[in-house]
Amino acid sequence: MKVSAFTYVRNGLHLDYPFIQAIKSVLPLADEMIVVIGDSHDGTREAVEAMNDPKIKIVDTIWDDATRTGGRIFAEQTNIGMDHCSKEADWLFHIQADEVIHENDIAAIQEAMQQNLANKSVEGLLFNFINFFGDYDHYGPSRRFHQHEIRIVRNNPNIRSFRDSQGFRKFSNPAHQWEEKGEKLWVKKLDASIYHYSYVKNPKKQLLKTLEFTKRWHDDAWVAEYLEKNKEGYDFGRIDYLSLFKGTHPAIMQQRIAEKDWNYIYDPAKNDMKPKERIMKLLQDLTGKQFFIYKNYKLRA
């Protein structure tokens, strides 16, 4: 069994992404690691080079700053990573620059890939997501966050990144995937998690990241207005509800956690929940299940 992993990043240091930790966390599972690096000004490429790992292969790209349609640039960068993976690979493992694998899950992931290798009806593997928010002690269990997503797929040229690199779908004509809806993949659920640190930064750095992200959807006027309203830093009060994290973080994240330089106080009374969200939360509290959630996959038993 051969596994190719891939990721993309641009100005990862400036935007405070744990991209080095993300890459290192997947290396034990991969025969090669494709790192697609956008035109950065902060030493991101040099940081990846300094890892000096023979599995790592860097692909340089130029981001089109005029691309502001539904976050399409992120899917394009993902596809570039897929295209540079070995043609002999059986599985492609996508890790994003703010996602980390726990060392305790490596054996389970390896076993799942091996067990499903010959079962071609399984087109991908589905991970649980732990979406940290505000700090390393709280996470978002609500429908606002994707609680499950595909991160391992077959090495099939018809499988491409979907929308803003949210997940993957299969297209009849990959060269014109933006004109297709695509087919959801048949996947098996893994007993393993993605530790997602997208909203765990100093408020000033979180604002920088949010501005860079949202300008892939909005024009300069919208971005300028957003910055004016949030010039003191990202407002972590824009949340429905959080839960206390009682597990352990990946060992590779411990130094970053120790270097945290901001305080976050979660106040459940300060939320922006709408009436519908309150009803859905009540149902979830009563049943332990989320209803009517969006699923970008089809689950195999």
Percent of the chain with pLDDT over 90: 75
| Residues 6+ away with beta carbon under 8 Å from 122 | 116, 186, 187, 188, 300
What is the residue extent of each domain of the chain?
1-301
pLDDT at 14: 96
Segment (H or E) for 298: strand 298-299
How confident is the prediction for the chain on average, in pLDDT? 94
The matching CATH number, chosen from 1.10.3680, 1.10.20, 3.90.550, 3.30.530, for 1-301 is 3.90.550
pLDDT at 230: 84
pLDDT at 231: 79
Residue 76 has pLDDT above 80, yes or no: yes
pLDDT at 224: 83
pLDDT at 250: 98
Question: What is the pLDDT averaged over residues 141-168?
Answer: 94
pLDDT at 105: 98
Residue type (1 letter), 301: A
Residue 145 has pLDDT above 90, yes or no: yes
DSSP state of 174: G
| Terminal-to-terminal C-alpha distance of the chain | 23
pLDDT band at 19 (very low <50, low <70, confident <90, very high): very high
Instruction: Tell me how far apart the 2 most distant CA atoms of the chain are, in Å.
Output: 54
Exposure of 225 by Cβ count < 10 A (0-12 exposed, 13-18 middle, 19+ buried)?
exposed
- Beta-sheet pairing, 183-184 with 99-101: unpaired
Which token pair is 70? 């539904």
pLDDT band at 254 (very low <50, low <70, confident <90, very high): very high
Question: What is the pLDDT averaged over residues 106-114?
Answer: 98
- For residue 152, give the nearest of 115, 112, 180 by alpha carbon: 112
pLDDT band at 293 (very low <50, low <70, confident <90, very high): confident
Q: Which residues are registered as beta bridge partners of 5? A: 33, 93
pLDDT band at 218 (very low <50, low <70, confident <90, very high): confident
- For residue 6, give the nearest of 22, 296, 18, 239 by alpha carbon: 22
- Beta-sheet pairing, 167-170 with 183-184: antiparallel
Contact of 44 with 12, CB cutoff 8 Å: yes
Q: Which residues are registered as beta bridge partners of 243? A: 139
Q: Is 85 left (phi over 0), alpha (psi -120 to 50) or beta?
A: beta
Identify each DSSP E strand in 69-217 by its residue range.
91-94, 99-101, 124-133, 138-139, 148-154, 159-162, 167-170, 183-184, 186-199
pLDDT digits (tens, 9 = 90+) for 159-176: 999 988 889 999 999 888
User: How many Cα neighbours within 13 Å face the side chain of 219?
Assistant: 1
